[in-house]
Amino acid sequence: MRKSREAAGREVPGMEHADKGAARILIVDDLEANRCILEEIIQDMGCRPVAAASGEEALRLIGEARPRLILSDISMPGMDGYELCRALKNDKKTKNIPIIFISAYDNPKDIIEGFSLGGADYITKPFVPEVVQARVGVHLRLYEASRELEEMNHRLHASLSEQLKQIEQEKKDVLYALAGIAARNSCYRGAHIERLKENCRILAQGMQLSPLFEDKISDACIDTVELAAPLCDIGNIGIPLELLRKAEALDAGEMAIVQTHTTIGAKLLGDLHVGSDYNDFVRMAVDIAHYHHENWDGSGYPEGLAGEAIPLAAQIVSIVQAYCALTDKKHYSREEAFRILEGEAGIKFNPDIFRICRKISRQLC
């Protein structure tokens, strides 16, 4: 066996022109003779041996460049092989690196201890080159197979996530199309949905700046309110067209039918749960569809909720929808609409939200 060709912690001289894609194998042993033997065995496999004379030095080298596999002596001064293994397995960056223990002892207790710490294999001294190469080769192949499987799982997960996003977007597109039909059935202009979206976003942003609501309105909440608001009256697709467009006042029976659009819409939206992110959108859309006709004083429908029991998103949509209806269907000016809404503050609408809405009214479209 040739003499030592390296200083501890450095790659073997003569390997400078070796394939840089070759597997990097870290050899950890406090005895130089053992390192020399293992270096030659590893180099003969076409791999790149790197040597460390202690567990502490091994950790430093691993921090600089992670090896594909580690051959570690058990009995070393300072940090022994078991301690090195424990440290590596407790670090998510290094826990998957295979560790093969090397020792002059073949006590079953030592072998069991090594496996219990996460060791992949156990080789006894004196070294038989063919045995070392066979064991190292097996664990290199297993490591590569594991990495390939992990990469395949990542690609599969990314592909599935993209497909789910596409499905979710297609569902949203269908919902907005239905909401557009429902709005036209109710004689709203084509721009009604976009106005409702934009104004709900503006109001939610104004509320976020208020001490009363800053801990309740996040950036994500603002985005979701904007997306979910247009679906508030989607249940109107289940209401007879003649009732939605009736010019005369509805009688009690007809009004009861029209009011069911809240439960129809909530049921339609509630059946669409897919992924967790999508469910945030659906949950808020359900709340808005179901409760946007609840009144602050409890006189609304369908549940007769009052005050803070009404979901916040539904409170936002309630006042914005009323503003849009007054300025769209009835052609009131902004000032006229807010004079009418002011009379309903504390009755239909949360008075705090109304005050914020009036304060930012010039921003509304």
Looking at residues 228-248, what average pLDDT do you find? 89
CB atoms within 10 A of CB 178: 17
**Is residue 59 pLDDT above 60, yes or no?**
yes
**Count of domains forming the chain:** 2
Q: Is residue 92 part of a domain?
A: yes
DSSP state of 216: T
- pLDDT surpassing 80 at residue 223: yes
Which helix (H) or strand (E) segment is 154 a member of? helix 129-185
CATH number, domain containing residue 258: 1.10.3210.10
Question: For the range 179-186, what are the long-range contacts, defined as Cβ-Cβ under 8 Å and sequence gap of 24 or more?
Answer: 179/230, 179/231, 179/233, 179/234, 181/237, 182/233, 182/234, 182/235, 182/236, 182/237, 183/233, 183/236, 185/236, 185/237, 185/239, 185/241, 185/244, 185/245, 186/233, 186/236, 186/244, 186/245
Residues 223 and 117 in one domain: no
Question: For residue 11, what are the CA distances in angstroms to 8, 49, 52, 67, 225?
Answer: 8, 6, 10, 12, 59
Q: Is residue 152 part of a domain?
A: no
Do 123 and 252 belong to one domain? no
CB 229 within 8 A of CB 192: no
Q: Would you say residue 17 has pLDDT above 60?
A: no
46: domain CATH number? 3.40.50.2300
Q: What percentage of the chain has pLDDT greater than the value 70?
A: 88
Across residues 351-361, what is the average pLDDT? 96
Flag the least confident range among 14-18, 63-67, 298-302: 14-18
Helices 55-64, 81-89: inter-axial angle, 10-degree rounding: 30
Residues 107 and 183 in one domain: no
- Same domain, residue pair 281 and 189: yes
pLDDT at 138 over 70: yes
What domain range is 356 assigned to?
159-363
Q: Is residue 16 part of a domain?
A: no
Task: State pTM to two decimals.
Answer: 0.55
pLDDT at 168 over 90: no
Q: Read off the pLDDT of residues 266-284 as tens digits, 9 standing for 90 and up.
A: 998 887 655 445 578 888 9
Q: Are residues 250 and 357 in the same domain?
A: yes
Q: In terms of pLDDT, which residue wins out, 182 or 141?
A: 141
